[in-house]
Chain A
Amino acid sequence: MIDLEIPDDARTLLEMLKWLGKEYLRPLGIEADRKKQPLPADNPFYYKCAELGLQARTAIEGGGPSKKDGTEKKERTAARLGVLLGEELAYWDRGVAVSMPGPGLGGPPISIMGTDEQKKRFLSIFQTREKPVWGAFGMTEAGAGSDVARIATRCEKHGDSWVLNGDKAFCSNADKASWIVMWATIDKALGREGHRAFVVERGTPGLDVSKREHKMGLSAYASCTVFMDNCTVPAGNLLGGEEYYKGRAGFKGAMKSFDATRPIIASMAVGIGRAAWDRMQEFVKENYDLDRPVPRYQKIKEHIVTIKRKIDIGRLLCWKAAWLADTDQPNTLEASQAKAYCPAASLDAISLCIDIMADAGVRNDYFVEKLFRDVKAIDLVEGTGQIQRVVIARRIADYPRDDA
């Protein structure tokens, strides 16, 4: 029979996150939202994260595939732990969670595509407990969001270096990052085959990370527009080395890392939904006596049942996709199902929380409207809901690729 028991070691970690969340994530997230300013890199919270070894943990559990050298007897748990922690972090504040030190979305491509030397060079920096360290990921451009094959950032080889030119959009934490995994093309006409991934280090001449977007929610981390003007990167920073890019491996590398991260992103929507549930519950207890025969209360009870169902089921879809990943079963379909379902379901759930709280629901200091703004982003990042459906259709119905 299936098992839905959260194991003890995960519980211990969740307890720690709960403390961290109450103490730091929630208040910092609310503060950032009111100021519409991301947290600065010297915020004491980030030093706390480093001290606790959290950035090292995310570097190790970047979501890469397991080693199949036969020495690994114990079942892997990284993906399941990922969705459990993802939900808990987002429950407290998804914006602050994204801003936390660690390799971020740049971790998986390095662990999947990188050479041993690169893994060591770029991931070992997160082992320190002295100071916070960030990584970042640059794929999206203003003119290429869902259709990543259209990226226009160019890379040209000049002797022992690569020269990058172009702009990246929505590059999370680029302002604080020690390096950014940057995607560029050797020739736009080649589509995905022309893609190359580079680790561009902070301070590289021609790299400018100073511009940031003003977003509807999730203010705690900076979404930067990154400009590269003759940004010159050593050849040794081409992820995986030149050999890696025979055929379509480059793009596949990026896609594979999405299989690992999609369930985690989906679980964050579940966490935001649960935060709204808790706040709504508190409000209901303070303001309504559901036993009184007020006609609208019947509707409220109905909403409560629906909200719980949406959140509960979303969580199960994340867990299933993560369990498949941990047990080395294909999970592209299930990861996309979770990613398609959870953000929309949580948005519906949060919206119903606002209905229940009525006019109070939209007050900023009552918190739920912030979650409503925050959660919308989850249906946009790492493949919109529509892109997830395209991915699903490819799996179930051999939906064709345009470039096939």
Chain B
Amino acid sequence: MAISFALSEDETMIRNEAEKFSKSLYDDARKFEKEGVPASLYGNYKELGFLNLDWPVELGGQGLPFFVKTVVLEQLSRGCVSTLLSMDRAGFSLYPLLALKHAGAAPLLARFKQAADGFEPAVFVDTDEQIKLEKGVLSGVIHYLPSHKPSLLIVLQGRRVFCIEDGIASTPVLPCALHAAGACEVKINGKPVIVEELSEESYRKMIASMRLYMASCMLGVAAASYQYALGYTKERITFGKKVAHHQAIAFILADMSIAIEATRASIWKGAYELSKGDGFSAGSQALLQAQECSSFVTVYGVQLLGGHGYVSDYPVEKWMREARTLPTLLGGKDAAQLDLERTIRDWGFA
């Protein structure tokens, strides 16, 4: 029988490594949020092999299926998703570049391979076409990008991809969460090095990877919040019994566990479909699911801790802010929803 949810031995080993690393991220999360991610951590991340897990072998990657990356992303996001986004900048920005056919992509990709200091790629999904290309000049404003100072900016407008290096001016801003990843407003005014219209197939593959990536991050944040709230409510006593043993609370915990299980299954299915050729629909679905799950779980994560949940001595408020911030990236859930609505024809509605 082929239906199986088993991780292979290698996959389990990688997951366990990620879990270990994630614990160290968790311990220092608040510090990283305040002071930024130390340079040494980038080295660790690379050495542990997390950065290039699913990169093609030609790029110096390990060529593993994207599925493994989703498993790692979930684990690391449990520790600190904003530190993860900082460490994995190149990892995330690679998906659009891999989709390009343009001759200019090769030298850019070469820089990913080196991933030297100061190389800070960033991706912005411009669903509302607020960035304009006129007479060869790209201009517009991005209100928030989780980056300190992007050195390469990849703007996606539907199937159109712009890569720009010169003419991007960034100013720091303060976002709701993800502080360790950096945060800036970007003013664009310059000539893009690459303008390309992706084929439908390339677009679907790229978007599937990116949405599954973000969904895995949301899942990790939700799972962290659930685990913490579960532990807390199993310890604390109110009205003569453990908080978790009041049925009103127990049912919320049960619903959290269901939401997380459902989301993980949805992401895994997306990664599976991607490996079989087309994860666009399942990947977009997973993003919607992850967004719904993480907003429900993290808000209740705070609720179950009561007043403690609201203060930064406890981690749950951070996860709630993160779960609100993550879905605004990549065009938000609206982009995934609209893409799926356009896919309805493929489901037999035409």
Contact = CB atoms under 8 A, between A and B. Distances in A.
Given A305-B344, A326-B1, A327-B6, A284 B265 contact: no
B258 A10 contact: no
A290 B344 contact: yes
A4 B340 CA distance: 21
B185 to A, nearest CB: 32
A301 B342 CA distance: 8
Interface string B1-39: 111111110010000000000000000000000000000
B1 A81 contact: yes
Contacts of B340: 305
A399 B5 contact: no
A383 to B, nearest CB: 13
Contact of A317 (B4, B245, B262): B262
Contact of B245 (A2, A326, A392, A399): A399
B254 A281 contact: no
Contacts of B65: 1
A397 B258 contact: no
Interface in B334-350: 337, 340-341, 344, 347-350
B212 interface: no
B262 A313 contact: yes
B2 A6 contact: yes
B251 A2 contact: no
Interface residues of A, number: 49
A150 interface: no
Given A10-B1, A323-B5, A301 B288 contact: no
Given A3-B4, A6-B3, A313 B266 contact: yes
A392 B262 CA distance: 14
B215 interface: no
Contacts of B262: 313, 316-317, 337, 341
A397 B244 contact: yes
Contacts of A284: 349
Given A3-B272, A305-B288, A340 B341 contact: no
Interface string B253-285: 111011001100110110110010000001001
B5 A2 contact: yes
Contact of B3 (A4, A313, A388): A4
A341 B257 CA distance: 11
Nearest to A10: B1
A249 interface: no
Contacts of A316: 262, 265-266, 268-269
Most interface-central of B251, B265, B266, B349 (chain A CB within 10 A): B265
A8 to B, nearest CB: 9
A397 B230 contact: yes
Contacts of B288: 305, 309
Interface of A: 1-7, 10, 75, 77, 80-81, 281, 284-285, 290, 301-302, 304-305, 308-309, 312-313, 316-317, 319-320, 322-324, 326-327, 333-334, 337, 340-341, 386, 388-390, 392-393, 396-400
30 contacts: A1-B68, A4-B272, A7-B3, A10-B1, A281-B348, A284-B349, A285-B350, A302-B337, A302-B341, A304-B344, A304-B347, A305-B337, A305-B344, A308-B285, A312-B285, A313-B265, A320-B261, A323-B3, A333-B257, A340-B254, A388-B254, A389-B254, A390-B247, A392-B254, A393-B250, A396-B230, A396-B257, A397-B242, A398-B245, A399-B245
Q: Which 5 residue pairs are nearest across A and B when measured between Cβ atoms? A: A393-B250, A316-B265, A392-B254, A77-B1, A389-B254
